[in-house]
Structure 1
């Protein structure tokens, strides 16, 4: 009876399928018994589960039949060996059944079959591989789990050659979103590595799959993989104890080992090292796969392999570096992080810099890419101070080459270059003193590119770190230490600078970022200015450098005059730099240059570096050009020019001849009609000083006609719609009334009735009258 097959299982639990089976089994002349007696090839089961006779339409009955087969295998064991071919055909069909439960039961049945007759199972095991692989991607995760477990048993107890047929499918299941599926894969691979008869032939194919589970997001899966891996390593050690005896007795842990990592056992390390040459090419190929998840998984596995291989990495450096360069350009940040910040650091940890740098630096001699710089930064970061010390000078010289640090203005490239410098400072500490100048060149170059404020702050912080490892107070001390060399470095080519020359931006950084230190290198600084600010040089470039000079002059005491030495260079600055650039030339750029030159001149005057004595020396050369600048399109230029003329009048106006007085007031008077209120007010103030200078001048008598004309024009502006200008002009006329009061009174009386606001005329008349009375 059927109950004998499973004594512990009550008949009632079989349900409808059980009742149907019992009818078939108990019928003395039923259809199944009749088929068994009459069939020329009697089989264990009726043709209800496998073609060509057709399939049983009832899902429950098909399930019950497979369950019965499983019970038979468990009960009878090796006695079912004669029916292995029939069982295999039944399982081939059942594994592809439309009913998921039939598939699951078929997987369990396959496991039972493999365990029941291990001596014979290999003859039919290959026939089950295809249907298993067709089912391994089933939509129900429980089916996938059972298929993976069945695959493990079928291959372990069957033909090991089928490993190649299933590896790609199992590898794909490592990306399964269900943790239990990944857990099943890890278990199967671990068991194969421990117990598969031909496992030595498949180590290089199975090890990557097991190590791939080390980075599983589920801790349970990770722990399982590590547990299996440790067992595998210990087993391999025992099996190869004679070959490993020397390494077991004399193996010493590296003194510099990645923080937070536990060193794998000797057997694990040896397994990876001996199979790395077979694993690495395929893994490197996966690093460039078009599927994002594959690249991420491959990058994670690469780190695990390198951690195990240790110094055996050396013989694979060329392939490894090519892969790292390419992977560092990946769009997926996680791939870049796994490669540049993790894997590449292990090269620095385990590979001698003599080897790694010899292979990396040639890439810098060609056209270095950001990925090359990124890998170098990671290698430096992973190195120890002691092993890197002999190579510090080489690294500093490499990074400071123009072809490296000036190769690109791309922000990402410069960020990686900065990472290299930061890594050198962090690892080498005080040893960086011998390459301090080279590192400053790199940092100045990075700061010089047009980039975000965030990058500039990072550069400044890195400078501070470089100063700190040299026991200096601040990065200004670094500039103090290297300012002469830095200026010489950039000024070598200043004769041929254009607006596109990187040296222009580097000069700006050195001049403005060094603070008071620039005041200690005025010889070189002024020489660059004098060379580059000649009228025949590139206008855009001159404008940039003039802007730098203007910024420095606005805070002269904190920058170029910090040592009080700048006044000794004033004659050169004015005659050789400012004066030539105040000459009129057509074009907007030329106008901008004149504007900046005027601003620089005003800054010199405003901060009182240009003393009255110096003004007297340069007045004849500068005055005509400054007066001409009052007619510029730029409002700020006109305003500064008016103020400069005002200062010139106060300092040396009494020494003007008639022509200078005439030319001055003529141009200043035009500014009373300026569109800018500020310019009009400045012009009024300048005319007041003009009157003061003329009062004490020897040419006063010859200027009466001009004064009369000036009175007439000023009286027009005394009725200006702008009340502020009216008051300013009133003060100018009060000052000018001292020259020819009677003449002014006649002019006032002639126009007072025309003014909309005659109150200012009356105030002026009253002022003149009061002045006369006080004089008597």
Structure 2
């Protein structure tokens, strides 16, 4: 019975199969009628045959989205037997339109066939013949039309998608095609080829690795293509090719990927981060390349596009977690007993995970040499990226920086001298991280040693940045050591470059801002550094910044302003300076520091006279450097002019008056040949004038000065310098006003002839000052009990003054008239006689008449 059923079943075919067979037979008959047209001699005939085939295939059974197995099975036979061979021959048709229709029909056929893989043995060689040719490296592909080359590559990509692993036996042809099309002049062909290469790698993972290396060369030739979409496609394709291919190629592609980190197009940089992150997560041999892949991904964390930076950060976090899970047993203790972030972590809320930190720490020794090399590259972008990456690595390494500290410091010292601000900015950030994570005992030993050997602006910048990053508690025991080291001459006076002074100032500011009240024990050396900066670079524009630093230091020392700060430390500063003052010249740093202390100490100088005056006396001796004496006398003149607020703030300056006169003024007022000596005498006269006009000396003290300095002042009335002669006249006037009746008559008589000479001076200002002094001289004679003793001298003075009463300058005439009026009270009759003797000689009798009227109005002598 069973045999009977089986026989009946065999004799009665399945209706579906019958329908399928009938459909295939009908399609075969239709195609058979059309196919001879493909062999026509005319282009038009072949084209019409292909168009008829297209209409037939498209109308026979519209392609369904979900596919129809029965239709595909019915189509398979006629397609493979009749249509495929003839269409493949049409790929070489001389007419471009016919080739394009053939490609389109092949695409339709592959999509509708039940077993597209059956077409591969004939399709792949045909595609290789049209796209690769026999010598792809030397000759252009046989297919000249770029749109057709794109369609052929798309056809290959379709075959890869539809055939899957069945493509493995034909991998050679596919690779040969892609090696050519990846270098095609048409950008769209390159992009499609990249997608096809990635699809091929995914479709044949078991065999692709043996051929993957042959695609790396063409891919890397296209990675710098001018179209950014091609570059993105190449990067993505390379990632997949290596993922499913040979890990040996990683070393070949990484330099090219590193160059793409500098790409101007954000999408390209994003593609690099995405591909490298994928390798770190999934590449089979990733552990061998961690030290090369990690820098590429971490470089994306500082990308200028926030989206790229966030994407790279997310990938990096995934990589760290993945590695942490893979090494969970090894990290068990650190996971179970994880402590909080370091107390002074710059961003404790976003501290990298344990896996990320461990990855960096374990590979840091392999990564650092390359970073240290690239940070000195001649290409600016490379230096910027390397500096940014170094800061990221140090943030992850934390305390493990210590074992690599010396090469890192050497690198930072070199990089902080870079002309590119972005490089310097990132390097100072790295230095701050060193201060945060490394013990001061360690970094001070290294950085101070480097500064002692070769002080430089970059070294000081690194030092200042390290201090800024150091926690206050850790820095507290070392504040004085740092301040003393900065104050040493080999660092404090290491260069005359303005940038050096700016960096030195930054070191002091860093110490003060971090240590705050802990600086109180180091005030003197810090002040010494600030005074040095002000002395050497204040004129170069750092004066305002130094004043800010002084204000900060005053605040932490709880004093009111910089003057109180100088008051607290001026004694110690002068003691330090006194140790070297015997060797000073006008350009000595010690002298410049001394000048700054004098100019900025204000009232504090009145408390430091025991230290100040000996230095002044020593430096102002005639044997010392003339430029230094000239500068110091100018400074001293300013101090004496405001003596009540400077050297006499405590009312003790009179105790040093004798030293000032005998040891400073007398030697510097002595005549010596030369312009410099004349300038020094002018400065000394200015100092004397500042002293006698300051109001700090009593009349008795001025008389003491007069007794010792009158000969020198009278001599200075003959100086070539107008300023000296003018100031000397004024000093004589002050001497006369305070002399009273104590001056020796013989010395008193010698004064007026010198003043008379000044009436012939080239300067009217000097002549007026001399006339004013003569008025004072005459007034002093009137106060003398024995004025008759001076009668002959006064008569001579009358005669001389009457000459100048007819001076061409009206101002001089007026001044002389007042002098004669003041002196006429002494011997009016004598003056009238002298005036009558010369009246006829005057050009105008006006002033003589005024004088005569004044004399006649005087009361009679008793």
**Aligned-pair distance for 1:663?**
3.2
User: 1:440 matched to which residue of 2?
Assistant: 527
Q: Distance in 1 between matches of 2:472 and 2:380?
A: 36
1:200 aligns with 2:282: no
Of 466, 480, 485, which aligns to 1:398?
A: 485
Using a 3 Å threshold, how does the CA distance of structure 1 residues 328 and 682 change in structure 2: closer, same or farther? same
**Aligned-pair distance for 1:256?**
1.1
**Aligned-pair distance for 1:130?**
1.0
Mapped contact 1:665–1:690 kept (Cα < 8 A): yes
1:575 aligns with 2:575: no
**Aligned-pair distance for 1:756?**
3.3
| Higher mean C-alpha deviation, range 746-755 or range 51-60 | 746-755
Matched residue SS, 1:712? helix
User: 1:33 matched to which residue of 2?
Assistant: none
**Aligned-pair distance for 1:660?**
2.8
1:615-694 → structure 2 map (5 Å cutoff): 615-652=702-739, 654-657=741-744, 659-694=746-781
| Higher mean C-alpha deviation, range 169-178 or range 51-60 | 51-60
| Higher mean C-alpha deviation, range 618-627 or range 57-66 | 618-627
Q: Distance in 1 between matches of 2:203 and 2:347?
A: 49
**Aligned-pair distance for 1:443?**
1.5
1:50 aligns with 2:132: yes
Q: Distance in 2 between matches of 1:726 and 1:493?
A: 56
Using a 3 Å threshold, how does the CA distance of structure 1 residues 720 and 259 change in structure 2: closer, same or farther? farther
Of 496, 505, 511, which aligns to 2:592?
A: 505
1:99 aligns with 2:186: yes
Q: Deviations over 1:328-351 (max 9, x none)?
A: 1111111111112x1001101111
**Aligned-pair distance for 1:462?**
1.9
Query: How many residues align structurally?
Result: 762
Greater Cα radius of gyration, structure 1 or 2: 2
**Aligned-pair distance for 1:733?**
1.1
Matched residue SS, 1:514? helix
Q: Which runs of 4+ in 1 moved over 6 A?
A: 1-7, 14-17, 23-27, 39-42
User: 1:108 matched to which residue of 2?
Assistant: 195
**Aligned-pair distance for 1:666?**
2.1
Of 271, 276, 280, which aligns to 2:364?
A: 276
1:374 aligns with 2:461: yes
Q: Distance in 2 between matches of 1:467 and 1:279?
A: 45
User: 1:19 matched to which residue of 2?
Assistant: 101
Q: Distance in 2 between matches of 1:16 and 1:673?
A: 119
Q: Distance in 1 between matches of 2:295 and 2:164?
A: 36
Using a 3 Å threshold, how does the CA distance of structure 1 residues 760 and 311 change in structure 2: closer, same or farther? same
Q: Distance in 1 between matches of 2:601 and 2:812?
A: 44
User: 1:535 matched to which residue of 2?
Assistant: 622
Q: Distance in 2 between matches of 1:132 and 1:595?
A: 83
User: 2:80 matched to which residue of 1?
Assistant: none
**Aligned-pair distance for 1:454?**
5.3
User: 2:426 matched to which residue of 1?
Assistant: 338
Q: Distance in 2 between matches of 1:748 and 1:280?
A: 101
Using a 3 Å threshold, how does the CA distance of structure 1 residues 602 and 5 change in structure 2: closer, same or farther? farther
1:142 aligns with 2:142: no
Q: Deviations over 1:728-756 (max 9, x none)?
A: 11011112223443343333234333333
The TM-score normalised by the length of structure 2 is 0.84
Using a 3 Å threshold, how does the CA distance of structure 1 residues 734 and 15 change in structure 2: closer, same or farther? farther
Q: Distance in 2 between matches of 1:302 and 1:5?
A: 61
Q: Distance in 2 between matches of 1:664 and 1:25?
A: 125
User: 1:765 matched to which residue of 2?
Assistant: 852
User: 1:727 matched to which residue of 2?
Assistant: 814
1:453-532 → structure 2 map (5 Å cutoff): 455-532=542-619
Using a 3 Å threshold, how does the CA distance of structure 1 residues 349 and 370 change in structure 2: closer, same or farther? same
Q: Deviations over 1:298-322 (max 9, x none)?
A: 1110000000011111111111011
User: 1:311 matched to which residue of 2?
Assistant: 399
Q: Distance in 2 between matches of 1:571 and 1:6?
A: 120
| Higher mean C-alpha deviation, range 535-544 or range 694-703 | 694-703
Q: Distance in 2 between matches of 1:41 and 1:63?
A: 16
**Aligned-pair distance for 1:92?**
0.9
Mapped contact 2:638–2:690 kept (Cα < 8 A): no
1:745 aligns with 2:821: no
Q: Distance in 1 between matches of 2:235 and 2:372?
A: 27
Gaps of 5+ in 1: 28-35
User: 2:36 matched to which residue of 1?
Assistant: none
Q: Distance in 1 between matches of 2:731 and 2:385?
A: 70
Q: Distance in 2 between matches of 1:160 and 1:474?
A: 68
Mapped contact 1:534–1:577 kept (Cα < 8 A): yes
**Aligned-pair distance for 1:689?**
1.4
Q: Deviations over 1:47-94 (max 9, x none)?
A: 121133743111111111001000000011111111111111111111
Q: Deviations over 1:679-707 (max 9, x none)?
A: 22111100111222234447755654543
1:384 aligns with 2:471: yes
Q: Distance in 1 between matches of 2:66 and 2:646?
A: 97
Using a 3 Å threshold, how does the CA distance of structure 1 residues 67 and 667 change in structure 2: closer, same or farther? same
**Aligned-pair distance for 1:142?**
0.8
Of 248, 256, 262, which aligns to 2:344?
A: 256
Q: Distance in 1 between matches of 2:64 and 2:225?
A: 34
Using a 3 Å threshold, how does the CA distance of structure 1 residues 737 and 191 change in structure 2: closer, same or farther? same
Q: Distance in 2 between matches of 1:143 and 1:664?
A: 101
Matched residue SS, 1:368? coil
Q: Distance in 1 between matches of 2:848 and 2:731?
A: 30
User: 1:556 matched to which residue of 2?
Assistant: 643
Of 353, 369, 382, which aligns to 1:294?
A: 382
Q: Distance in 1 between matches of 2:756 and 2:467?
A: 69
Q: Distance in 1 between matches of 2:239 and 2:108?
A: 37
User: 2:687 matched to which residue of 1?
Assistant: 600
Using a 3 Å threshold, how does the CA distance of structure 1 residues 735 and 26 change in structure 2: closer, same or farther? closer
Of 189, 213, 224, which aligns to 2:276?
A: 189
Mapped contact 1:88–1:128 kept (Cα < 8 A): yes
Mapped contact 2:643–2:649 kept (Cα < 8 A): yes
Mapped contact 1:605–1:611 kept (Cα < 8 A): no
Q: Distance in 1 between matches of 2:472 and 2:97?
A: 75
Using a 3 Å threshold, how does the CA distance of structure 1 residues 666 and 6 change in structure 2: closer, same or farther? farther
Matched residue SS, 1:449? helix
Matched residue SS, 1:431? helix
Mapped contact 1:370–1:413 kept (Cα < 8 A): yes
The TM-score normalised by the length of structure 1 is 0.93
User: 2:112 matched to which residue of 1?
Assistant: none
Q: Deviations over 1:385-423 (max 9, x none)?
A: 111222222212211212211223322112211211111
User: 2:672 matched to which residue of 1?
Assistant: 585
Using a 3 Å threshold, how does the CA distance of structure 1 residues 24 and 360 change in structure 2: closer, same or farther? closer
- For the aligned residue pairs, the C-alpha RMSD in angstroms reads 2.6
| Higher mean C-alpha deviation, range 225-234 or range 663-672 | 663-672
User: 1:227 matched to which residue of 2?
Assistant: 314
Using a 3 Å threshold, how does the CA distance of structure 1 residues 683 and 72 change in structure 2: closer, same or farther? same
1:213 aligns with 2:300: yes
Mapped contact 2:498–2:540 kept (Cα < 8 A): no
| Higher mean C-alpha deviation, range 64-73 or range 726-735 | 726-735
